[in-house]
Amino acid sequence: MSVTVIRNADWAIAWDEAAGCHVYRRGIDVVFDGATLTHVGPGYAGRPDRTIDGRGRMVMPGLIDIHSHPGHEPAYRGIREEHGVANMYMSGLFERSQAYGAADAAARAASTEFACCELLRSGVTSVLDIGPAWEGWAELMAKSGLRAFLAPGFASARWKLENDFELKYDWDEPAGRRRFEAALALIDGLPKHPGGRLSGVVAPMQIDTCAEALLRESFAAAAERRVPFTVHIAQGVSEVLEIIRRSGKTPVQWAAQLGILGPATLLGHAIFIDTHSWVRWWTRKDLELIAGHGCSVAHCPTPFARYGHLLESFGEYLRAGVNLGIGTDTSPHNMLEEMRTASSLARIAARDIHSVSLADLLHAATVGGAKALLREDLGRLAPGCKADLVLVDLACPEMMPARDPLRSLVFHAAERAVRDVFVDGVQVVAEGRVLTLDQAGAAARLAEAQARMMAAVPARDYRGRSADEITPLSLRVAG
Ligand SMILES: [Zn+2]
């Protein structure tokens, strides 16, 4: 094994095991032997193979993104930011999935490579990647250097629109079952992948697109494999009304009845629960059910905020006992900016600056995510944990004055101050540059993929509209 020491770090965000929280430490050494942290404290006396000068740096745990779709979201840049359907409670999800849903393997590869670069540059070391499986997925994620949790999605139905006010479904249960079996085969193969940083998550895509038996069986398959189970739930009012129409219950209450809530269940995004001001299905049980079953919630504020949707609220969920994590559901895949957005929106939702602190958000973006992924060895700087860490440049102008470097990083500098990133003890970002992937090359291929996707829109849209008709440019092109 090779020992690396980060010597005399001006600041470090270390884990206080007794208190169960992150704390600042000053002037310490952070040491890792291979993939494992061995020393977090002053005065390391061993003989390292590599020494990194920690002066002018803050060392912090790598961030954990617990909900993302790198395989297609980057292709929506310039398309989805202002796309919403008024008659579907502002959500553009259903219309966009139908019209823009054509993504080939080349598109997914370009999109994923591009997103992974953004993730790494914003200090992410672990990512949960949810989407349909594609050829080369595991190989690319292994090459990225990220610790990747692959969640090959499957469903019994697709959303089908014939107008802009009714959410309908195109059911094909045998196809859903085939994709479920294929997903399990992929998940079972991941731990054998060289590098040892890949693992799987069982992911029926949405509570409303999966048959009851499929949801039950996929939950059992996750439990049998001791891997996390994730499903989109309460992410749109149209979905909530559909589940109430089918079952007489809110999606969360229906999930509880199906027996698919538990400590390994990660809910994306559990916004529209019974007490939400846009739902007001006044049973007042949902939050208690989520917390009582020990579920985690993947909070990804950006795409919802763009529709005008708010989680009500992050602080309320925390105090109810829900384990919260943060994800980048859409582009940009910038976890630091996502934390900043989460902070502002949590305070707006609660009308209270003290509703949520930056310490709460860092906890969610590290150990909260680790708990959701059933990995207590991630998200914290402590001996015995994985050497997944980030070095922040305290002298970056946007960090200055660096009186409180975490505040400088999240509220001001974001990825501009991220210098070096290590995953499993291996350096994947140096001086702000991703060493493992080619973002510029991926960007060129992503632009081509976006053009192919937009060209396919008229044949897929229920009214045969073009991409420019559904999602016009922000400004008219004059002349
Ligand atoms: Zn999602």
Sequential DSSP letters for 250-281? -HHHHHHHHT--STTEEEEE--S-TTSTTT--
Q: Determine the angle formed by the axes of helices 173-189 and 212-225, rounding to 10 degrees.
A: 10
Mean pLDDT of 212-229: 98
In 147-236, alpha helices (H): 173-189, 212-225
Calculate how far, in angstroms, residue 415's C-alpha sits from the geometric centre of ligand 1.
23
Calculate how far, in angstroms, residue 34's C-alpha sits from the geometric centre of ligand 1.
34
Q: Which of 180, 164, 177, 263 is nearest to 223 (CA)?
A: 263
Task: Kindly calculate the radius of gyration of the chain based on its CA atoms and give it in whole angstroms.
Answer: 22
pLDDT at 350: 97
Calculate how far, in angstroms, residue 231's C-alpha sits from the geometric centre of ligand 1.
9
pLDDT at 174: 98
Torsion, Cα 290 296 301 303, to 10 degrees, reads: -90
Q: Which of 60, 73, 61 is nearest to 116 (CA)?
A: 73
Calculate how far, in angstroms, residue 307's C-alpha sits from the geometric centre of ligand 1.
15
Is the model's pLDDT at 195 over the cut of 90?
A: no
Residues whose CB is less than 8 angstroms from the CB of residue 444 and which lie 6 or more positions away in sequence, other chains included:
none
pLDDT tens-digit map of 27-77: 999 999 999 999 999 999 999 999 999 999 999 999 999 999 999 999 999
Calculate how far, in angstroms, residue 329's C-alpha sits from the geometric centre of ligand 1.
5
Q: Are 13 and 59 in contact (CB under 8 A)?
A: yes
Torsions phi, psi of 376, nearest 5? -80, -5
Q: How confident is the model at residue 1 (pLDDT cuts 50, 70, 90)?
A: confident
Calculate how far, in angstroms, residue 111's C-alpha sits from the geometric centre of ligand 1.
15
- Torsion sign over Cα 404, 406, 407, 411: positive
Calculate how far, in angstroms, residue 24's C-alpha sits from the geometric centre of ligand 1.
33
pLDDT at 103: 85
Calculate how far, in angstroms, residue 241's C-alpha sits from the geometric centre of ligand 1.
19
Calculate how far, in angstroms, residue 290's C-alpha sits from the geometric centre of ligand 1.
18
pLDDT at 186: 98
Burial of residue 357 (number of CB atoms within 10 Å: 0-12, 13-18, 19+):
middle
Calculate how far, in angstroms, residue 251's C-alpha sits from the geometric centre of ligand 1.
16
Calculate how far, in angstroms, residue 8's C-alpha sits from the geometric centre of ligand 1.
40
Q: What percent of the chain has pLDDT over 90?
A: 98
pLDDT at 312: 97
Calculate how far, in angstroms, residue 395's C-alpha sits from the geometric centre of ligand 1.
36
Per-chain mean pLDDT for the chain: 97
Calculate how far, in angstroms, residue 478's C-alpha sits from the geometric centre of ligand 1.
36
pLDDT at 447: 97
Mean pLDDT of 202-229: 98
Complete DSSP assignment for 19-48: TTEEEEEEEEEEEEETTEEEEEES---S--
Q: How confident is the model at residue 102 (pLDDT cuts 50, 70, 90)?
A: confident
Q: Which of 375, 364, 362, 376 is nearest to 405 (CA)?
A: 362
Calculate how far, in angstroms, residue 74's C-alpha sits from the geometric centre of ligand 1.
13
pLDDT tens-digit map of 314-339: 999 999 999 999 999 999 999 999 99
- Residue 276 to residue 240: CA distance in whole angstroms: 11
pLDDT at 359: 98
Q: How confident is the model at residue 454 (pLDDT cuts 50, 70, 90)?
A: very high
Q: For residue 24, which amino acid is it?
A: Y
Instruction: Return residues with CB closer than 5 A to ligand 1 (ion).
Output: 329
Q: Are 409 and 392 in contact (CB under 8 A)?
A: yes
Calculate how far, in angstroms, residue 29's C-alpha sits from the geometric centre of ligand 1.
38
End-to-end Cα spacing for the chain: 64
Calculate how far, in angstroms, residue 71's C-alpha sits from the geometric centre of ligand 1.
11
pLDDT tens-digit map of 257-316: 999 999 999 999 999 999 999 999 999 999 999 999 999 999 999 999 999 999 999 999
Q: Are 137 and 348 in contact (CB under 8 A)?
A: no
What is the pTM (predicted TM-score) of this model? 0.98
Residues whose CB is less than 8 angstroms from the CB of residue 194 and which lie 6 or more positions away in sequence, other chains included:
142
Calculate how far, in angstroms, residue 56's C-alpha sits from the geometric centre of ligand 1.
37
